[in-house]
Structure 1
Amino acid sequence: MNPLEILLQQIEERELWEKELELSRNEYLKVSGSKDTQVYFVTDGSLRAFVTDEEEEHTIRFAYSGDIVAALDSFVSEQPSPLYIQAIKKSSLKVISKKTFLDMVSASKENMQLYQNLLLQLVYQQMEREQDLLTSSPQERYRRVLARSPRLFQEVPHRYIASYLRMTPETLSRIKKS
């Protein structure tokens, strides 16, 4: 079992989930400028996290059934975040507050180690993504994300995948056809 699965199992066993949410397709879990220090477990559906500039949206992460999602910058800093989190399709989530989650994590040395491992995995994934965006061709980015996350292409509309890969939907279509 990976660190996330073990921590989720403990939350479930201890009945620490504080509420459940249902989001409609395109409904926002979090909007830019808001503070959000909760952790969400996706029981069904899929979501995307993105930021915007004057011209467009930039998708930075996806979450599917069985994943956790959080505005990690706001979770850590307890400050407002520029991040949006939006349901791509109808989604169900379980919610745990930062305090409850960190109380559980700090309750044992083993839990703290699991949490640290989980954070290290997230850092590694983010570094891998940044490296892809900075050094890989659009074709290579497509191949690498397809190998890492084939589920993405089954659950997420192509326009969001294109945004995630930092290319236009037309470029993504051309690459997929070749």
Structure 2
Amino acid sequence: MKEIVALSKQTITIERNEFLRTKGTIDTNVYYIESGSLRVFVLDDDQEQTIRFGYQSNIVASLDSFLTGKPSNFYIQAIKKTVIKVITKPEIDQLLKTETHLKLWTTILEELVIQQMEREIDILTSSPKERYLRVLKRSPQLFQEIPNKHIANYLRMSPETLSRLKKS
């Protein structure tokens, strides 16, 4: 991971609620979060559906656009003031010319895919309580970094349901 972050020649800061990316834009960058937090979401009939969070030491990307070079379906927004290292696709492509770095990049992409698959399975097959407990076990830091209203949206439950689960 350090090798990929070291590629960055640009650091940016975005303020709370500011968008890093919006739907319909092509984004072939990868972002390493130095501090702060982001959320990745889509709009479904004008309803925001959070699909991922990023906070310190996480990598975030509009993965659909990064992989295809086409406009993204995702919005990436700062939850609080966030400092981000920007790593461009040409920088990554240069790094991937070595076998060791190619394996590292493959591992990062595999982890992102597995996390997304686990999340989809949770949403489709688990009760709200089971989803809450799994996320709490998998990512306890999430509950320190992210406001409850965003966590509830991510878990597909009301903020009141999340509050009751946290109390029990």
Is the TM-score greater than 0.5?
yes
TM-score of the pair, normalised by structure 2: 0.96
AA matched with 1:65: Q
Counterparts of 2:8 and 2:161, CA distance in 1 = 42
**Where do residues 82-93 of structure 1 align in structure 2 (5 Å cutoff)?**
82-93=73-84
Counterparts of 1:82 and 1:120, CA distance in 2 = 21
Residue 171 (structure 1) aligned with residue 125 (structure 2): no
After superposition, the C-alpha distances for 1:84-107 in whole angstroms (9 at most, x for unaligned) are 0001000101111111112112x2
Unpaired segments ≥5 residues, structure 1: none
Counterparts of 1:78 and 1:91, CA distance in 2 = 25
Counterparts of 2:51 and 2:145, CA distance in 1 = 16
Q: Which residue of 1 aligns with 2:3?
A: 9
Residue 18 (structure 1) aligned with residue 24 (structure 2): no
Q: Which residue of 2 aligns with 1:124?
A: 114
Unpaired segments ≥5 residues, structure 2: none
Counterparts of 1:76 and 1:136, CA distance in 2 = 30
Alignment partner for residue 20 of structure 2, among 19, 29, 52?
29
AA matched with 1:36: D
SS in 1 for 2:106: helix
Question: Please, what is the CA RMSD of the aligned residues?
Answer: 1.1
Residue 94 (structure 1) aligned with residue 85 (structure 2): yes
Matched pairs, number: 168
Residue 60 (structure 1) aligned with residue 51 (structure 2): yes
Runs of 4+ in structure 1 over 3 Å off: none
**Where do residues 37-56 of structure 1 align in structure 2 (5 Å cutoff)?**
37-56=28-47
SS in 2 for 1:17: coil
Counterparts of 1:18 and 1:172, CA distance in 2 = 40
Alignment partner for residue 139 of structure 1, among 129, 132, 147?
129
Counterparts of 1:10 and 1:88, CA distance in 2 = 24
1:46 deviates by 0.6
SS in 1 for 2:23: coil
Counterparts of 1:126 and 1:101, CA distance in 2 = 22
Q: Percent identity?
A: 52
SS in 1 for 2:82: strand
Instruction: Assess if the C-alpha contact under 8 Å between 2:5 and 2:85 holds in 1.
Output: no
